[in-house]
Amino acid sequence: MPILAQGLALALWLGIWSRQGRINFLSALQSLAPIILGTAAAGLSWVFIISQREFGHGMTEWIQFTNMSWVDMLIGPQPN
């Protein structure tokens, strides 16, 4: 989870500095793309590791078993 918090802090920092005119948001985003993608990949790998440990098998099989969508799995099932 700490790496996800770091990614959110980085996005907040970029947003604040771009609003103040200190940096160009798009150029900063391009130069930081590897860090942002790495953060996203680490977050997804964290989800897969936890699911493997908790359920004893892969994420795809668990979702098929419970008949849930990816959105339901990430944010929880929504009431009808």
Each domain of the chain, given as residue ranges in start order, spans 2-75
**Closest to 28 measured CA to CA, from 40, 43, 45, 20:** 20
Specify the pTM. Answer: 0.34
* Measured CA angle at 53 (ends 46, 8), to 5 deg: 15
Q: What is the pLDDT of residues 20-79, one digit of tens each?
A: 777 676 777 777 778 777 777 777 777 776 666 666 555 555 555 556 566 666 666 566
Task: Tell me how far the alpha carbon of residue 43 is from its chain's centroid.
Answer: 5
